[in-house]
């Protein structure tokens, strides 16, 4: 019979060891938890008393007051108390048990589709009954469907606190979860709770202690501001958020310390870098100079550099990478540059060859499309040290690739590589107990809010200045009905000597469908623009073919390039000043920004036309407005984060290691800096607590194993 458990009394024999830490008290020692329940609870991640304490309600019901039946409103969770008038089985569309309850102010029906004979008999006329639930309009006026209830003669006293509703899974009832939380809180009241963050470190924040916060969250009082508890703006929630963030920062610090304990070769070769810079037709921007300076300082240390370069598309990251590579090569070490796609890797290859050929440096190439003979030669050169620099894709991880003296690894767009792959490459460079330095480039700006968390284990540099003379891209959003006008615009631009991209997007991830859509558009536009040389690239083409077609566009032979999103990264044709994106409403902000970055790379004014299908969803409208209003990648990243929330934002970037349980990086941004301070103080003054905190929040710290 459904009836909330009351007056829980933790089994003293089983839970009475005050010395035990809450993460050492197995859930099987709770009253009412046998092996089968334990198994189900494990699916919720509940293994210990501590897990129960931190399994928080997602809403509350008010069972502290009785509502008169005459005052019932549909869809409002309430408690009513009355007397059973009748309980009858009725045969309508479905057989059901109808129980009528009255309290003098009105009458209401409880309806059960699943019921037992015993249950029917028990709900006899005249019995006192208390019902919990949400009434809904039904055949007999307001009805409660399958409500929880208790029957008399004696009904227990009403709840004093609000009733928590917990996230759950099949086979685990709210009743059980409430019961467990009750037992856990009882334990908490009887045992000094394990405050892992000393009071003195929290005083400034004005946040409550841990026990107080947990009790408030599990059992708030009827006059507590439930809204604040639920939306995470109550000090009780903030207290837990703070602790989780502190734990996270400690994890980062530990990971960093592990890294820094390794040794790496000191690289100090300025000669080649100086020659490269002299040979350039332009001056480095101030930001490029600063970042190159930071990298040089890192490379001179005897511990591995772990630096992330963030810079918007077109900010000149590749050149910074080349300068770093030359420092390593100048010191007699090899360098590997790895990019996630062959197209992007090839762009780097071309850039590097262009810059380094005058210095007499060969750039080797290793990717899936490289033929057997060339591959053999490259492998031999890398193994005997004759090859100083190799650019490539995942092919660089293969077992057959052996370096003689790898000193620096450069990774473009790191989030697209798995941790294992990065580690594999680093291992290739391990010798004499040293590991190579590592430089990562990303054109996906990480909002400041997240950077501390996502990349807390890396040093970061930001190239926050564009090469001079760049004009901001003018962006317009147009309904698909204006396509003809857009085609005319392409014609005019190309006639005047410019080049254009036409990007076909599809929501489907399938290369095949994307390719077909692009082919259809290609045929269309070739017909509509007979005077133009039109070229097509998509993901289903062989690398070599793609390369040839891209080359025809880069040389200016082709004026219009129809492409799928394969051109998202790395393509650099400064004469291309117009980009059209079809179905722009389907793309996320990050991708729109990446794609748009293919134009605006020369001195001429560039344009981006976003074609969209109507009707636009609310967020699609917002996205297009953001694109129209700004071209600053960091602003766009912040907006993206706001629109999607950190979970999804991070998910699509596969940074993965960042699943917070309670903290919400956007909502709780203000706590980030204080959490960092607390983490540092804790590490300095209470190092013995660090381990426990990590275990409490990071489930064994496995998220940080990827050093
Ligand atoms: P990113 O990789 O950051 O998107 P790139 O390194 O590809 O940017 O640089 C974009 C373009 O700008 C390239 O053509 C590059 O040669 C050029 N470039 C880089 N630095 C400068 C500079 N300081 N002044 C002028 N042009 C530059
Ligand atoms: Mg680049």
Ligand 1 pocket, residue 310 CB under 6 Å? no
CB contact at 8 A, 9 and 155: no
Ligand 1 pocket, residue 313 CB under 6 Å? yes
Ligand 1 pocket, residue 318 CB under 6 Å? yes
Ligand 1 pocket, residue 82 CB under 6 Å? no
Ligand 1 pocket, residue 334 CB under 6 Å? no
Task: Give the C-alpha separation, 159 to 222, whole Å.
Answer: 10
* pLDDT for res 422: 66
Task: Give the C-alpha separation, 191 to 664, whole Å.
Answer: 30
Our mutation pick for probing the ligand 1 site, out of 278, 351, 467, counting the most ligand atoms within 8 A of Cβ, is: 467
Tell me what percent of the residues of the chain surpass a pLDDT of 90. Answer: 50
pLDDT tier at 650, thresholds 50, 70, 90: low
Nearest ligand by distance to the CA of 309: 1
Ligand 1 pocket, residue 347 CB under 6 Å? no
- Write down the residue that tokens 């024999």 correspond to: 13
- Which residue has a Cα nearest atom 15 of ligand 1? 316
Mean pLDDT of 150-172: 89
Atom of ligand 1 at shortest distance to CA of 320?
6
CA 417 to ligand 1 centroid distance, Å? 24
Does the pLDDT value for residue 575 go beyond 80?
A: yes
Backbone angles phi, psi at 231, to 5 degrees: -90, 5
Ligand 1 pocket, residue 179 CB under 6 Å? no
Task: Give the C-alpha separation, 512 to 86, whole Å.
Answer: 65
Task: Give the C-alpha separation, 576 to 561, whole Å.
Answer: 10
Ligand 1 pocket, residue 429 CB under 6 Å? no
CB contact at 8 A, 599 and 576: yes
- Segment 67-116, tens digit of pLDDT: 999 999 988 889 999 999 999 998 878 899 999 999 999 999 999 998 88
Task: Give the C-alpha separation, 415 to 440, whole Å.
Answer: 10
Mean pLDDT of 122-131: 93
Does the pLDDT value for residue 243 go beyond 70?
A: yes
CA 319 to ligand 1 centroid distance, Å? 7
The residue that leads in pLDDT, 287 or 644, is 287
Structure-token pair, residue 138: 């039904």
DSSP for 302-314 reads SS--EEEEEE-TT
Considering only CA atoms, which of 434, 456, 454 is closest in space to residue 261? 434
CA 314 to ligand 2 centroid distance, Å? 7
Rounded (5°) CA angle 44-47-48: 130
Q: How far is CA 645 from the centre of its chain?
A: 8
Ligand 1 pocket, residue 311 CB under 6 Å? yes
- Segment 405-420, tens digit of pLDDT: 999 999 987 665 665 6
CA 97 to ligand 2 centroid distance, Å? 69
* pLDDT for res 226: 86
Task: Give the C-alpha separation, 365 to 337, whole Å.
Answer: 10
Mean pLDDT of 163-168: 92
Nearest ligand by distance to the CA of 570: 2
- Segment 283-320, tens digit of pLDDT: 999 999 999 999 999 999 999 998 989 888 778 999 99
- Which residue has a Cα nearest atom 26 of ligand 1? 467
Nearest ligand by distance to the CA of 463: 1
The residues, any chain, with a CB within 8 Å of residue 648's CB and separated by 6 or more, are none
pLDDT tier at 30, thresholds 50, 70, 90: very high
- Which residue has a Cα nearest atom 5 of ligand 1? 316
* pLDDT for res 10: 45
CA 351 to ligand 2 centroid distance, Å? 10
Threshold 0.75, pTM exceeds: no
Ligand 1 pocket, residue 150 CB under 6 Å? no
Does the pLDDT value for residue 17 go beyond 50?
A: no
| Cis bond before residue 615 (omega within 30° of 0) | yes
Ligand 1 pocket, residue 251 CB under 6 Å? no
Ligand 1 pocket, residue 601 CB under 6 Å? yes
pLDDT tier at 653, thresholds 50, 70, 90: very low
CA 236 to ligand 2 centroid distance, Å? 45
How many angstroms separate the Cα of 66 from the Cα of each of 77, 82, 152, 674?
A: 11, 10, 16, 44
* pLDDT for res 340: 83
Rounded-to-5 percentages of helix, strand, coil across the chain: 45, 20, 35
The residue that leads in pLDDT, 32 or 568, is 32
* pLDDT for res 703: 39
Does the pLDDT value for residue 7 go beyond 60?
A: no
Backbone angles phi, psi at 441, to 5 degrees: -115, 135
CB contact at 8 A, 547 and 370: no
Mean per-residue pLDDT over the chain, rounded: 86
């Amino acid at each position: 019979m459904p009836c909330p458990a009351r007056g829980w009394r933790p089994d003293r024999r089983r839970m009475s060891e005050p010395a035990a830490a809450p993460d050492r008290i197995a859930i099987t020692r709770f009253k009412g938890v046998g092996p089968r329940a334990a198994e189900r609870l494990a699916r919720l991640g509940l293994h210990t008393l501590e897990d129960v304490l931190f399994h928080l309600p997602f809403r509350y019901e008010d069972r502290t007051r009785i509502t008169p039946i005459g005052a019932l409103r549909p869809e409002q969770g309430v408690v009513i108390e009355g007397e059973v008038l009748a309980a009858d089985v009725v045969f309508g569309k479905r057989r059901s048990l109808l129980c009528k309850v009255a309290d003098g102010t009105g009458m209401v029906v409880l309806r059960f589709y699943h019921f037992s004979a015993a249950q029917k008999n028990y709900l006899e006329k005249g019995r006192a009954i208390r019902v919990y639930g949400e009434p809904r309009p039904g055949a007999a006026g307001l009805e409660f469907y399958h409500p929880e209830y208790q029957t008399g003669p004696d009904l227990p006293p009403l709840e004093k606190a609000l009733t928590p509703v917990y996230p759950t899974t099949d086979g685990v009832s709210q009743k059980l979860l409430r019961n467990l939380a009750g037992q856990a809180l009882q334990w908490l009241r009887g045992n000094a709770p394990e405050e892992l963050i000393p009071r003195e470190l929290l005083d400034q924040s004005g946040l409550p202690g841990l026990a107080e916060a947990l009790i408030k969250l599990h059992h708030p009082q009827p006059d507590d501001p439930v809204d604040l508890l639920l939306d995470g703006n109550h000090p009780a929630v903030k207290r837990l958020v703070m602790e989780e963030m502190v734990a996270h920062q400690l994890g980062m610090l530990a990971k960093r310390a592990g890294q820094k304990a390794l040794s790496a070769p000191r690289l100090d070769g300025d000669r080649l870098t100086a020659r490269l810079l002299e040979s350039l037709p332009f001056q480095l921007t101030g930001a490029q100079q600063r970042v190159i300076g930071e990298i040089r300082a890192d490379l001179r240390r005897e511990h591995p550099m772990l630096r992330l370069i963030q810079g918007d598309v077109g900010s000149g990251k590749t050149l910074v990478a080349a300068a770093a590579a030359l420092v390593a090569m100048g010191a007699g070490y090899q360098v590997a540059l790895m990019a996630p796609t062959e197209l992007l890797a090839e762009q780097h290859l071309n850039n590097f060859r262009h810059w380094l050929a005058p210095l007499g440096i060969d750039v080797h190439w290793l990717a899936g499309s490289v033929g057997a003979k060339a591959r053999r030669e490259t492998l031999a050169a890398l193994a005997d040290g004759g090859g100083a620099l190799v650019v490539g894709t995942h092919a660089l991880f293969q077992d057959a690739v052996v370096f003689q003296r790898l000193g620096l690894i450069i990774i473009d767009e790191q989030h697209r590589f798995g941790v294992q792959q990065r580690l594999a490459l680093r291992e290739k460079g391990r010798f004499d107990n040293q590991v190579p330095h590592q430089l990562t480039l990303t054109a996906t700006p990480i909002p400041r809010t997240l950077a501390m968390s996502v990349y807390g284990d890396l040093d970061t540099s930001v190239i926050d200045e564009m090469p001079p003379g760049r004009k901001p891209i003018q962006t317009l959003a147009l309904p698909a009905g204006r396509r003809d006008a857009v085609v005319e615009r392409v014609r005019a631009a190309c006639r005047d000597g410019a080049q254009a991209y036409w990007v076909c997007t599809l929501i489907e991830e399938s290369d095949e469908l994307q390719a077909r859509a692009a082919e259809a558009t290609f045929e269309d536009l070739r017909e509509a623009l007979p005077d133009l040389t039109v070229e097509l690239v998509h993901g289903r083409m062989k690398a070599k073919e793609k390369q040839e077609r891209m080359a025809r566009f880069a040389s200016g032979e082709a004026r219009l390039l129809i492409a799928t999103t394969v051109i998202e990264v790395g393509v650099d044709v400064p004469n291309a000043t117009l980009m059209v994106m079809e179905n722009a409403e389907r793309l996320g902000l990050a991708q729109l920004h990446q794609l748009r970055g293919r134009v605006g790379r020369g001195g001429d004014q560039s344009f981006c036309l976003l074609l969209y299908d109507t009707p636009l969803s609310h967020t699609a409208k917002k996205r297009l407005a953001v694109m129209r209003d700004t071209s600053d990648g960091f602003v766009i990243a912040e907006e993206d984060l706001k629109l999607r929330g950190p979970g999804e934002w991070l998910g699509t970037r596969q940074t993965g290691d960042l699943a917070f349980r309670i903290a919400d990086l956007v909502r709780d941004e203000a706590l980030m800096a204080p959490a960092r301070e607390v983490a540092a103080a804790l590490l300095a003054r209470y190092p013995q607590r660090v381990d426990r905190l990590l275990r409490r929040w990071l489930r064994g710290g496995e998220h940080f194993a990827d050093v």
